[in-house]
Structure 1
Amino acid sequence: MKLNFFKYEGAGNDFILIDNRNGAFSSIKNTETIKNLCDRHFGIGADGLMILELKNGFDFEMRYFNADGREGSMCGNGGRCIVAFAKHLNLIQTETNFLAVDGPHYATISENGNWVSLQMIDVQEIDSDGEAFVLNTGSPHYVLQVNNLASKNVYEIGKSIRNNEIYSINGINVNFVEDFGDHYFVRTYERGVENETFACGTGVTAVSMAMAKKKGLFGNIKNSIKVPGGNLSVSFNYDGKIFGNVFLEGPATFVFEGSIEI
């Protein structure tokens, strides 16, 4: 079967996008097929794969699969990219309401289609693990503040935390953050990819919340985030109990389209 696909990236976090409104991909969708498509040597290559499907009451439904082929939890940069994809398909214009695995999401997109602001879920609980913070922003995250982040071996340290006795069964995304005052620098080891990625949307959202809690900040907060693949921003309101009105903003860029035999 010939599969038509689109490739998008958000701050270097890259994804395969498939329009499955006709349901054709459903008959061949399986873990091995998706894993092979995401393989950077023998497939298209991507951090994950997303399927756009129809859903009553919403503009569309987003289904996200990790690079290991398994259906994943929410992906923030993926969510922004699928909004850009929906605009390309003329499903939306400048705003949308769509459904993802963690519930409904609202988003706006620029007229040129390459800048997306995505509303994320509210967060109430932040736990601690030693000096680190643990929270779920649609996906589970571990956040640890460090110094000299550019020189850290994020792959080895992140892998060891993700696979320790606490997190090995369900897995966790491991984020390291360095505070530069006017921005945070973040690097992330992602479960499902099992490697460091150029960016992680739910990860920088988790970092912003964890650092606000650590610093005792309240009210309307907006943070600039630098990641290896570019720049993102996160804004929210924190009243001491709930992180609400959460938005992840950044680029969502079309890379190429093509077809592949599967």
Structure 2
Amino acid sequence: MTLAGRPFTKMSGGGNDFIVFDNRDRWFPRDGAVDLVARLCRSGLGVGADAVLLLEDDPGSDFRMVYYNADGGEAPMCGNGALCIARYARLEAIVPEESMRFATGSGLFHAHADPASPAVTLWLVPPRDLTLRYVELEKPPYLRVGFLDTSTPHVVALVDDVGAHDVTGEGSRLRRDPRWDPPGTNVNFVATSGRHRLRMRTYERGVEAETLSCGTGATASAILTYLWGLTEPPVTVETTGGIPLTVDFAPPDDPDTLPADVRLTGEARVVYRGTLDEI
């Protein structure tokens, strides 16, 4: 199948960039997706992006989001990608209302997107698989290290100076640590700056590099720093991309349970629209 003439939308969600396709007629060659997605996402030879998003029909919700990392591997979910596909669905009139529900590999999500504004709010599935502290890893420069799955797996490591941290080297090392590999984990390095603010840098699996932002990573970071007694909701997360994400949730009454009603708010912007040619 030739892809020439196929339209796409380039979007930025909180600093992550995505190539978005309307795949309701199932034209996208899912069997050859690994090589195709890797070509599309490669800067200089393709469109260039952190990931590819497909919007497909779903019988039990408004639509389904299919997510491919830049290496061509399919992943169940991406927070910033979900912000983008929710706004894309409204801009393209695929959903008639600002409130919508859509399916992912991590379950059903609810979002609110106003087509006139880039701000989108996403209600996440309940977080799970908490490890509050890995004391054996808490050696300088790490003050705290924990793990939480916020629809994708995340290690969160607290440091004093996140700006000077070796995100590439340490992110690659921890991402493949035997505790989490296979399938590996995303790694977020954070520093607090008050009770309602974090600075975060993220090493993403599948991209295998530092990215400008990570929505589910911001969510995991806000919840873990809350459980460590360092922050309280709402938490504004400052990312490398410079576009803040806000994480809000209901603190649990029982200290042995995780927060509920977890919400992620961030910007989903259309960068440009185009058509594929010689890819």
- For Structure 1 versus Structure 2, the TM-score category normalised by the shorter chain is over 0.9
- The reply to whether residue 86 of structure 1 matches residue 103 of structure 2 is no
Structure 1 letter corresponding to 2:103: L
C-alpha deviations, 1:194-228, integer Å up to 9, x for none? 0000000000000011011100878xx21111001
Paired with 2:271 and 2:145, the residues of 1 have a C-alpha distance of 36
SS in 2 for 1:23: coil
Q: Does structure 2 retain, via aligned residues, the 8 Å contact 1:87–1:113?
A: no
Structure 2 letter corresponding to 1:251: E
Q: 1:191 to 1:124 in 2, by over 3 A?
A: closer
SS in 1 for 2:237: strand
Query: Which structure is higher in strand share?
Result: 1
Alignment partner, residue 50 of structure 1: 53
Match of 2:215 among 195, 201, 207: 201
Structure 2 letter corresponding to 1:257: R
Unaligned 5+ segments in structure 2 are: 136-143
C-alpha deviations, 1:123-161, integer Å up to 9, x for none? 244113233111100100000110111111211111111
Q: Does structure 2 retain, via aligned residues, the 8 Å contact 1:124–1:243?
A: no
Alignment partner, residue 127 of structure 2: 123
What does residue range 73-152 of structure 1 map to in structure 2 within 5 Å?
73-92=76-95, 93-127=97-131, 128-130=133-135, 131-152=144-165
**Percent identity (aligned):** 33
Q: 1:40 to 1:223 in 2, by over 3 A?
A: same
Structure 2 letter corresponding to 1:59: D
Q: Does structure 1 retain, via aligned residues, the 8 Å contact 2:67–2:78?
A: yes
SS in 2 for 1:36: helix
Paired with 2:130 and 2:115, the residues of 1 have a C-alpha distance of 36
Match of 1:22 among 25, 31, 36: 25
Paired with 1:28 and 1:114, the residues of 2 have a C-alpha distance of 33
CA apart distance, 1:38: 0.7
The TM-score, its normalising length taken from structure 1, stands at: 0.95
Match of 2:183 among 164, 170, 173: 170
C-alpha deviations, 1:10-40, integer Å up to 9, x for none? 1210001000011111466421011111111
SS in 2 for 1:17: strand
Paired with 1:256 and 1:29, the residues of 2 have a C-alpha distance of 26
Structure 2 letter corresponding to 1:206: A
Paired with 1:97 and 1:69, the residues of 2 have a C-alpha distance of 26
Paired with 2:223 and 2:101, the residues of 1 have a C-alpha distance of 24
Alignment partner, residue 224 of structure 1: 236
Unaligned 5+ segments in structure 1 are: none
How large is the RMSD of aligned CA atoms in angstroms? 1.6
The TM-score, its normalising length taken from structure 2, stands at: 0.89
Q: Which moved more, 1:209-218 or 1:243-252?
A: 209-218
Q: Does structure 1 retain, via aligned residues, the 8 Å contact 2:187–2:203?
A: yes
Structure 2 letter corresponding to 1:91: I
- The reply to whether residue 213 of structure 1 matches residue 227 of structure 2 is yes
